[in-house]
Structure 1
Amino acid sequence: MRGSLTRALTGALGLIAAAAGQLATAAPVAADSVVVGGRQAQITDAPWVVALSSRDRFGGTRAGQFCGGVLVAPTKVLTAAHCLGREVLGGEPWEVRDFVVIAGRAALRGQGGQEVRISDTWVNPDYDPTTNSGDLAVLTLVSALPQSYVIGVARTGDAAYTPGTEADVYGWGDTTGSGTYASALRTARVQVLPDGACERAYPGGFGVPYRGDTMLCAGDPRGGKDACQGDSGGPLVAKGLLVGLVSWGSGCGQAENPGVYTRVSAVLPESF
């Protein structure tokens, strides 16, 4: 649910409204260019990407998908903390009767894969919903997914965090920045940017300041490629390792406003 500033509430309300409209009209959702400027992804190439789903809350047209996540252990999924907020879920996570992750399935309404219920949630106690600093949560699954689905996590100082490194962002979110959501997994190639790029784009003032200690800046210096609403919590992968989670930004695919990601190495507990 990446959107203007936190792409949580705006994306969530948009998905709820879209779900209501889709249920009423049974109209298909366009899915040709997601993660803005992206291309279709094969789940076999990225089995660690999962969709967070509640059909009760978000409708069945897109299988209830509202955020992304990434499998970092057979029973552990990382996502954005803001995806679990009351504004998004309409209550606490344990109150959402049909809260599941969809794994091993690129097309949300397709066949195959697994839908696994959530047994527990952990939200980073240092998460600040006002600034989106520390935007990370951990979901525990009731049953284990295959070890082959798991991706490794880049640690502090890893070369994957070097500015200029190519990275891939994944999701089922808005394809255009105007509420056109995808039903099949997409990916876009961006690059890790210097902290200064996001410090200039988000200096604070009347908005939210970028914090390089807990956030990661990534995008395309030319614009046109980015995560968007509905992609929140999804992975940013560089050199085969997880480096970030889609968190926030202003607009989608704008060269002057790169995407801001949770810097996983700085926020994930060392004991994890």
Structure 2
Amino acid sequence: MVRTVLRTVTGALALTVAAVVLPRGPAVPAAADSIIIGGQPAHVADSPWVVAVSSRDRFGGTRAGQFCGGVVIAPAKVLTAAHCLGREVLGSEASEVRDLLVIAGRDELRGAGGQEIAVRGTWINPGYDPDSNAGDLAVLTLSRELPDSSVVRMAKEGDTAYEPGTRAQVYGWGDTTGGGTYASALRVAPVQVLPDQMCEQAYPGGSDGAYEAGTMLCAGDPEGGHDACQGDSGGPLVARGRLVGLVSWGNGCGQADSPGVYTRISAAIDWMAGH
């Protein structure tokens, strides 16, 4: 199964929307149902830049409408995956979703505290290719600002955080088992940045998608068991305190021979600067 919106990264994160399909595995867009595989509870107090992307109108109230993850890169700007805002996930254009919002500062999706902030604008990378999953990036502009302390630093090209073998963490509210068991509270899974060759071998093209080292980042657990999953799409991959990737796609969840494929943040910086 391809991990996209609903299953964008394997094993570590799992979103909660059961009827959405994510681009993870064969390049089929999914909406938001991936969760962290092999993870443990996390707290937004320690990672305030992690947010949930939500629409109760489209996905119901069971998980507070959460269908994808996101990460705060400026007080009023959140990065997420482009496939999360696609018609295949939302059933319409993002601009037509009347209650699109982000949930910040809350571990439990239906818990108290935190903020629910309306999205007042969306930008989807014009270079995004839903067939190959290349350029899987979108920016949400919030209707009000979050504090500066909620902003994560982005790793630029050449940053040592991209080096293979670097320990990293992936965050989300997605599927925790790969079988549709979604988390109601934020989770984090330990993974590592992997050599591009591992994803090039796993995804040479065809139904499982093609890995492009220039715009994608390979990460996971060489032994399997830790990964992002359905519902985690758009969520952050952080290494050495910097944002290096966004959950994008993969084949299955937590499989040693099918690492997670993430949108490479150094390429995302260039795309955003160009627009």
TM-score for both structures, normalised by structure 1: 0.89
Contact map agreement 2:38 2:226 (CA 8 A) in 1: yes
Matched residue SS, 1:197: helix
- The reply on whether 1:8 has 2:5 as its aligned counterpart is yes
1:218 aligned residue:
219
Matched residue SS, 1:88: helix
Distance verdict in 2 for CA 1:10–1:245, change over 3 Å: closer
2:103 aligned residue:
102
C-alpha distance in structure 2 between counterparts of 1:13 and 1:254, whole Å: 18
1:267 aligned residue:
268
Amino acid at match of 1:240: G
Deviation at 1:206, TM superposition (A): 4.1
- The reply on whether 1:187 has 2:188 as its aligned counterpart is yes
Distance verdict in 2 for CA 1:101–1:92, change over 3 Å: same
Contact map agreement 1:6 1:132 (CA 8 A) in 2: no
- The reply on whether 1:59 has 2:56 as its aligned counterpart is no
C-alpha distance in structure 1 between counterparts of 2:123 and 2:102, whole Å: 15
Deviations 1:131-187 (A, max 9, x none): 000100000001001111000100000000000000000000001101111100000
Amino acid at match of 1:168: Q
Distance verdict in 2 for CA 1:126–1:271, change over 3 Å: closer
Contact map agreement 1:16 1:59 (CA 8 A) in 2: no
C-alpha distance in structure 2 between counterparts of 1:241 and 1:44, whole Å: 17
Runs (4+) off by over 6 Å:
10-14
Deviation at 1:191, TM superposition (A): 0.2
C-alpha distance in structure 2 between counterparts of 1:167 and 1:71, whole Å: 18
Deviation at 1:88, TM superposition (A): 0.7
The gaps in structure 2 that reach 5 residues or longer are 9-13, 21-34
Amino acid at match of 2:17: L
Judge which range, 113-122 or 204-213, deviates more: 204-213
2:28 aligned residue:
none
Contact map agreement 1:78 1:137 (CA 8 A) in 2: yes
Contact map agreement 2:171 2:186 (CA 8 A) in 1: yes
Amino acid at match of 1:132: N
Matched residue SS, 1:196: helix
C-alpha distance in structure 1 between counterparts of 2:159 and 2:225, whole Å: 27
The gaps in structure 1 that reach 5 residues or longer are 19-33
Amino acid at match of 2:112: Q
1:253 aligned residue:
254
Contact map agreement 1:56 1:64 (CA 8 A) in 2: yes
Contact map agreement 2:237 2:246 (CA 8 A) in 1: yes
**1:101-250 superposed matches below 5 A:** 101-250=102-251
C-alpha distance in structure 1 between counterparts of 2:172 and 2:228, whole Å: 8
Deviations 1:55-99 (A, max 9, x none): 111111110000000000000000000000011111111211111
Deviation at 1:242, TM superposition (A): 0.3
C-alpha distance in structure 2 between counterparts of 1:9 and 1:259, whole Å: 14
Contact map agreement 1:16 1:57 (CA 8 A) in 2: no
Amino acid at match of 1:100: L
Deviations 1:27-58 (A, max 9, x none): xxxxxxx5000000011111000000011111
Task: Choose 1 or 2 for highest CA Rg.
Answer: 1
Deviation at 1:8, TM superposition (A): 2.4
1:77 aligned residue:
78
C-alpha distance in structure 2 between counterparts of 1:116 and 1:163, whole Å: 36
C-alpha distance in structure 1 between counterparts of 2:180 and 2:190, whole Å: 21
2:26 aligned residue:
none
Deviation at 1:208, TM superposition (A): 1.2
2:50 aligned residue:
49
Deviation at 1:207, TM superposition (A): 3.3
Deviation at 1:14, TM superposition (A): 7.7
Structure showing greater relative contact order (alpha-carbon pairs closer than 8 Å, 6 or more residues apart): 2
Distance verdict in 2 for CA 1:16–1:97, change over 3 Å: farther
TM-score for both structures, normalised by structure 2: 0.89
The number of equivalent residue pairs is 254
C-alpha distance in structure 2 between counterparts of 1:79 and 1:41, whole Å: 19
Contact map agreement 1:9 1:87 (CA 8 A) in 2: no
C-alpha distance in structure 2 between counterparts of 1:117 and 1:214, whole Å: 29
Contact map agreement 1:81 1:124 (CA 8 A) in 2: yes
